Amino acid sequence: MFETSSTLSEARLAANRENAQKSHGPSTPEGKAKAKLNAVTHGLTGHTVLFASPDEAQRYCLHVAEYEQQLQPLGKEECALVQSIADIRWRLASIPVFEHAIVALGSAALIDSNPANWTKPENQTALALEVRRRNEKELRNLQLQENRLARRRERESAELRCLQIARKANEEEALAAGARAALLALHRDPAASDLAIPGLGFVFSTDRFDSYMRRLKPAQKQILLQEAFAEQAEDPQTMEAAA
């Protein structure tokens, strides 16, 4: 006798109902506590920051803005590093919260299982030890993530410092090159009031250059002017014209 599709469907439904009755989840207080802990998602290992509320998202935005204001990144690499460092610090700050949640849930489960025993004042230390023993895996994982995040923050902070030191050195050299050209042009035409220096490829604003020029002391300007004379003398085109 062959099973019809209707008979087969009814048999499958009955099997599904039986399996569902067997899968209602843990029934003991300890098992229920473990199930609750499964819902404590921390997002410590991913690249997406999780928010519990719009207020928390707003606090995160302010947190990142403070790091950007403090570290002043420029360019894609620096901005990416500052963003990552801010995210790491945000995650590190959340680890004690997750640890507290694990301990609180574990304590509540033990107390529910035996209130007469675990609510006694003399058993509070034993309660704390038992909670940490039963949730050792979760707590140890948080500690491992904390260590990994701390090492990554140190590594990326060092990388950011190197990038910014190199960038600032390049900016200083570009400013000095612009100053040499400006001082040489002013030496050749003392009446010039608006110095246009084409072809230098500045990576800074006019205001930045003007501020740099104002900070130069007379002795520094003299050194830069002498360097400009030396560069002109070493320029093959200049030497050919002079000959």
Could you read off the pLDDT of 148-169 as tens digits, one per residue?
A: 999 999 999 999 999 999 999 9
H/E segment holding residue 66: helix 54-71
pLDDT (mean) for 184-194: 74
Exposed, middle or buried by CB within 10 Å (0-12, 13-18, 19+), for 108? middle
Instruction: Kindly report, residue by residue over 210-234, the tens digit of the pLDDT.
Output: 888 889 999 999 999 999 889 887 6
pTM for the model? 0.63
Most confident residue range from 36-45, 59-68, 182-191, 234-243:
59-68
Distances (CA, A) of 26 to 20, 31, 38, 175, 224: 13, 5, 12, 70, 79
CB distance 82 to 76 below 8 Å = no
Distance from the first to the final alpha carbon of the chain? 113
